[in-house]
A and B are shown apart, each in its own frame.
Chain A
Amino acid sequence: MGLRRIFMLVTMLATVIVTILGLSQSAKAQSPTYGVGRTPTADEIHAWDISISPTGKELPQGHGTAKQGAQVFVMRGCGACHGVSGSGGPAPTLIKSDGKTKSQFPCLTPCVNDSNVMALHSPYAVTMWDYIRRAMPLNSEGTLKPDEVYALTAFLLYKNGVIKEDEVMDAASLPKVKMPNQDGAGMPPEWKHGTPRLQGYP
């Protein structure tokens, strides 16, 4: 056996070993260890995934205006908990009051009164859309149609002076709403294991 042939054999063998190692490594990184649980169907993911990011990329089709929202607010009985005028009820204040009507409840964490009206405090309008869709009306959540959610969001934004009455809210316009508190969300520093929560804090 010539040197050249031995060299070729060694090279081939090395290639095979590297390939096997590489395969097993990528297999280790990519395949599940336990294989417990099942794959959800696309429909299941679609039905469960109600998260809306600040970019609004998950917003569904639909649209609504403040005028339509005022009707939905009445039709769906929102005032029963939030107050007919959107404040003064036992549920969170939705429309900043005239300042004379004081909420009967204190500022729990997070607040439910004038100091923390969602349209004024949330840095993103889509957070309002997300919460109305996921949580309201209480105990009947999930029953509002996208158009109704857009309309309610538009209504609350308009009543708090954020948008004009005739502005149409949809998947394109809602993420672009300039919110009064859009610069109010400071991000915490990147979290790292074994690091104090804030360097320099006593």
Chain B
Amino acid sequence: MDPKKSGRRGFLKESAALVGAVGAAMGVAPSIAGETPAMDDMSSKEPKELIAYGERSHFVTSTRIPVAERMSPDDFGMTFHVLTPLQDSVGIITPSSLHYIATHRGSYVPDIDPQEHKLMIHGMVDRPLIFTMDDLKRLPSVSRTHFIECIGNRARPSHKTVQQTHGMTSCSEWTGVLLSLLLKEAGVQQGASWVVAEGAETVKGATTVPLAKAMDDCMVCYGQNGEPVRPQQGYPLRLLVPGFEGIHNIKYLRRIKVVDQYYMTYNDYGHIAADPKVAALGTQLGPKSIITFPSGGQKLLGPGFYEITGLAWSGGGAIRSVEVSTDGGQTWKAAEFRSPSYPMAHARFGFNWKWDGKECLLMSRCTDELGTVQPTRADVAKYWNKPIDNNSQITGADNTVFPWRITSDGSVLNGLA
């Protein structure tokens, strides 16, 4: 037996005895049922290590999973798409360790020394500039809460859990420097209209972003949730293009070139569509919401009170309102915000609900600050003049209303199935 651990256990026992004695003195009878079990923690780490860097309770087992279609890591050790466990989420911040991952067509997570990393801004600027990480940290910083969502975040009838249907969205507090500040330092020239952003990883993933967006609210981020950006999220530096589809948020950002035309990089070309309308739907993401409790795979314990809760977000700005339907969309009632609603960020909503024990269909829909309402699959089908089909892929990014089916035994199933 580990002498250090047995020593600590002994101390805990004595403490428990002391608490019991105090309780008895105050006239409270200690009982087995009322005691807080003072078990030794099950961590494999030494207390000294845990004091230096904490870890979650071993009772908390929530993890990411790779998308069913492609394993991560694959045979080459490459990472593809990995899903956030939204079913276990509380509040609006996704723990950095559980943030969804999508890489530029599969790539290795690079091991970048921040002392070596640099960001170059060049192209149609008066003064090309190179910034070290130290340089960037000297500049005025901003911290903003923003979601990132992959355009591949599409619910399918075969999905069982909200992790599968919606797990490619996550939300963090991002800290860094506004890209507009850096571009102003460099002096953008007349005639410029786009920027090409590029990462330092193996495939040098690049994307083209409208200059108007770059000058509006894009961020060059070195911080995520109070610590440096995690390697899987682009350490030491990533671009954030708030509200645009995920692939624009270049990780391992090393270069920004100011240009006067769309550059059609490999990542851009993968998302092109002949119809400009489809192209528009794949750029700024529309309002979207999802109920995370109760959600697929969870179980209601019986009739009675439950808080229906979930997340709502939009690429068009802050979420203005969320509604919940407990009858398959026939009637809608206002949900309440259980968190602040920031622009281009997850907002947590709640809806007080008394389940009568009967089968029903739960869904949520949101409206953003532009007044855009999250559409149903029927709305989208009507727009494109197509039949409603739960199996077909939504044209453009999929932000449609999603139903959870509650069966009479309290099981929660995918309502598209």
Contacts and interface: CB of A to CB of B under 8 A. Distances in A.
A190 B279 CA distance: 11
Interface in B345-395: 370, 372-373, 375, 379-380, 382-383
Nearest to B369: A194
A127 B120 CA distance: 22
Interface stretch (B4-12, B122-130, B332-340, B404-412): B122-130
B202 interface: yes
Interface in A86-120: 90, 92, 105-106, 108-112, 116, 118
Given A40-B130, A202-B383, A112 B105 contact: yes
Contacts of A32: 127, 184-187
Among A44, A92, A191, A195, which residue has the most Cβ atoms of chain B within 10 A?
A191
Among B128, B206, B267, which residue has the most Cβ atoms of chain A within 10 A?
B128
Contacts of B13: none
A193 B216 contact: yes
Given A90-B76, A191-B283, A202-B379, A196 B185 contact: no
A197 B380 CA distance: 14
A85 interface: no
Contacts, number: 198
Interface in B151-210: 151-152, 181, 184-187, 196, 198, 202-204, 206, 210
Contact of B69 (A30, A50, A106, A121): A106
Contact of A197 (B272, B274, B285): B285
B270 interface: yes
Interface in B126-161: 126-131, 135, 138-139, 150-152
A197 B316 contact: yes
Nearest to B315: A197
Interface in B313-330: 315-317
B46 interface: no
Contacts of B272: 121, 123, 184-186
Contacts of A191: 210, 212-213, 283-284
Given A44-B130, A50-B204, A190 B212 contact: yes
A36 B139 contact: yes
Among A90, A192, A195, A198, which residue has the most Cβ atoms of chain B within 10 A?
A198
A190 B212 CA distance: 9
Given A30-B126, A110-B271, A134 B203 contact: yes
A198 B280 contact: yes
A198 B69 contact: no
A183 B105 contact: no
Interface residues of A: mostly helix, strand, loop or mixed? loop
Chain A interface category by residue count: 35 or more
Contact of A90 (B74, B150, B279, B380): B74
B135 A36 contact: yes
A189 B317 contact: no
Contact of B262 (A52, A187, A201): A187
Interface in A41-84: 44-45, 48-55, 81
B315 A39 contact: no
Interface stretch (B28-36, B229-237, B253-261, B299-307): B253-261
B268 to A, nearest CB: 8
Interface string A113-150: 00010100111100100110011001101000000000
Interface residues of B, number: 81
A123 B264 contact: yes
Contacts of B286: 196-197, 201
A135 B283 contact: no
A26 to B, nearest CB: 12
Given A105-B70, A139-B202, A37 B276 contact: no
Contacts of A130: 265-266
B278 interface: yes
A40 B129 contact: yes
Contacts of B81: 108
A4 interface: no
B379 A39 contact: no
Contact of B122 (A49, A105, A183): A49
Given A186-B274, A188-B276, A194-B370, A51 B203 contact: no
A7 B138 CA distance: 50
B100 to A, nearest CB: 13
Contacts of B151: 109
B2 interface: no
B92 to A, nearest CB: 22
A198 B76 CA distance: 40
A25 interface: no
Contacts of B284: 191, 197
A194 B317 contact: yes
Given A53-B263, A110-B105, 7 more contacts: A36-B135, A54-B264, A135-B204, A185-B264, A191-B284, A195-B370, A202-B383
